[in-house]
């Protein structure tokens, strides 16, 4: 059974849900405010609450598929492919980072800039969501 992460914009908390039927489009109810209208699925790899997106983490996943993780272009392709399969929108920041990876830029530099832009978001008053440690059934 897949585990999906949902961000509740109402209470700004990320919850993990055990999803019995991933093909349905409905969002689970927030365990805290018992509403589903503000629930938004997040891609765990890039979730804000866990800190910055790390290409190393992704490389670990990708290497399971026998991918050459020393090749930034192959990594970028793998990340896009993973997102496609999961039906995820990576967001403009990550999309731009991937485009730069594909262009042959230094992954560590891009990663650092992603981190910095994440900090900027916090400075504008949008506090990063907290993470609920529980596992809920959707």
Q: Does 8 bind Zn ion (CB under 5 A)?
A: yes
Q: Of 8-16, 40-48, 71-79, 113-121, which part binds Zn ion (CB under 5 A)?
A: 8-16
Q: Of 24-32, 93-101, 110-118, 129-137, which part binds Zn ion (CB under 5 A)?
A: 24-32
* The binder of Zn ion chosen from 16, 19, 33, 136 (CB under 5 A): 33
What is the Cα 138 distance to its own chain's centre? 19
Distance CA 51, CA 112 (A): 12
Cβ distance 98 to 79 under 8 Å?
Answer: yes
The nearer residue to Zn ion, 107 or 129, going by C-beta atoms, is: 129
Binding stretches for Zn ion (CB under 5 A)? 8, 10-11, 30, 32-33
């Amino acid at each position: 059974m897949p585990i999906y992460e949902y961000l509740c914009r109402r209470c700004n908390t990320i919850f993990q849900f055990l999803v019995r039927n991933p093909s349905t489009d409905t969002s689970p109810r927030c365990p805290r405010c018992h509403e589903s209208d503000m629930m938004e699925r997040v891609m765990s790899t890039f979730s804000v609450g866990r800190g910055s997106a790390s290409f190393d983490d992704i490389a670990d996943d990708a290497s399971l598929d026998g991918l050459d993780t020393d090749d930034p272009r192959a990594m970028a392709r793998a990340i896009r492919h993973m997102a496609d399969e999961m039906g995820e929108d990576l967001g403009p920041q990550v999309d731009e980072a991937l485009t730069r990876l594909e262009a042959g830029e230094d992954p560590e530099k891009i990663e650092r800039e992603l981190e910095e832009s994440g900090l900027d978001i916090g400075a504008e008053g949008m506090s990063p969501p907290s993470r609920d440690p529980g596992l809920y059934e959707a």
